[in-house]
Structure 1
Amino acid sequence: MVCIGQFAGSHGVRGLVKLRSFTGDPAAIAGYGPLTDEHGQRRFAVTLNGQVKELWLARVEGISTREQAQALAGVRLYVARTALPEPEDEDEFYHADLIGLPAETADGARFGVVKAIYDFGAGDMLELQRPGGTLELLPFTRACVPVVDVKGGRLVVEPPAVVEARPDGGDSDGAEAAGAGEGEP
């Protein structure tokens, strides 16, 4: 299942729901047929009725009051991965296709398995479960993840070097902090 949207609250008194779309073309969310909640227990037939800022106003079958619409706030909307079109470019992929892929270094050493992908506002981060169970976040950039091979079932990663701080405040590689020791009080 792939999350393609989320209900964001009610609009007006006649049951319209605010809807945040996560699809490439935001209006396409209504074209995927009935959407489900995360567990597939509830189905939502959605018709778009306009926009308010970055949100859609939607009519949801069976929802006719403000209270019913407001009760849907926060519900994430899902479709089966098979309902989505295949990416046209080899450098395009769905985040859902990366979950569970093994990650290895350029020399073929196992690095971990992709558990999740997050966007905290400064770009995507991969959460990798390392051998032994520890979790590690890695920037999802071309520099840190030079190869994404969904068909081959793997990622190649180049984790950034870790710079450890010395007790005296300098870096472990002998470099001093910029500006330190240059006649400053």
Structure 2
Amino acid sequence: MLVTVGRIGRAHGIKGEVGIDVRTDEPDRRFADGATLVTEAKVSRTLTVASSRWHSGRLLVKFAEVPDRTAAEQLRNLVVQAEIDGDERPEDPDEYYDRELIGLAVRTTDGADVGEVIDVVHLPSQDLLEIRRPAGNAVLVPLVEELVPELNLEKQYVVVADRPGLLDPEGAEVVPTDEA
């Protein structure tokens, strides 16, 4: 099974290193020397990590198949994926793979069924659950304990603490503004 572990950023230096926008909680494992990754593109290709290092808070990776800066620039914005065993779980029990969350039923804290998780959106500040509502529209809910107090993979559901406007954007509170 393939899981997304990063997106290739800009080239670094002249020897073919690239910056990686990390999308995994295990970068040292997924980008270890010798690791094999696959690009998610029209024409998929396999890349082998020759070396990786942290530089100024950014992960830099050198792929064996990328000899220089020109070749590295051709990889920019490609998503890289790692092959993992379908039963593999993150080491931390409070972490989840996206594939484990997609398809979970969504309930409110009072037990009402309100949709299904259809995607996990990764932003620099936090992750979001994309939830398809019964009406067909989708909403984004921050994946934080205050709003998602329970995640039960065994029983295949997630609990969302609904707030005005969270699951029903049209039900949002209107905050009056001062007219000048």
**Alignment TM-score, normalising by the size of structure 1:** 0.75
Which structure 1 residue ranges, 5 or more long, are not aligned?
170-176, 181-185
CA distance, structure 1, for counterparts of residue 125 and residue 50 of structure 2 = 33
- What per-residue deviation string (whole Å, max 9, x for no partner) do you get for residues 82-138 of structure 1? 278423454332233111211122343321111222344553322110012111122
Partner of 1:10: 11
Shift of 1:45: 0.5
**Superposed, which structure 2 residues align to 1:127-146 within 5 Å?**
127-146=130-149
Q: 1:67 to 1:84 in 2, by over 3 A?
A: farther
- 2:3 maps to a residue whose letter is V
Q: 2:155 aligns with which of 143, 152, 156?
A: 152
2:33 aligned with 1:68? no
Q: Which region of structure 1 is more displaced relative to structure 2, 155-164 or 72-81?
A: 155-164
SS at match of 1:37: strand
- The CA RMSD over aligned residues, in Å, is 2.8
2:94 aligned with 1:91? yes
Partner of 1:164: 173
Which structure 2 residue ranges, 5 or more long, are not aligned?
166-171
Q: Percent identity over the alignment?
A: 27
Partner of 2:129: 126
- 1:7 maps to a residue whose letter is I
| Alpha carbons 1:21, 1:27 under 8 Å: kept | no
CA distance, structure 2, for counterparts of residue 14 and residue 124 of structure 1 = 33
SS at match of 1:68: helix
**Alignment TM-score, normalising by the size of structure 2:** 0.77
CA distance, structure 2, for counterparts of residue 20 and residue 120 of structure 1 = 11
**Superposed, which structure 2 residues align to 1:105-124 within 5 Å?**
105-124=108-127
- 1:157 maps to a residue whose letter is V
Shift of 1:149: 0.5
Q: Which has the higher strand share?
A: 2
CA distance, structure 2, for counterparts of residue 25 and residue 140 of structure 1 = 19
Q: Which has the larger radius of gyration?
A: 1
Partner of 1:183: none
Partner of 2:61: 58
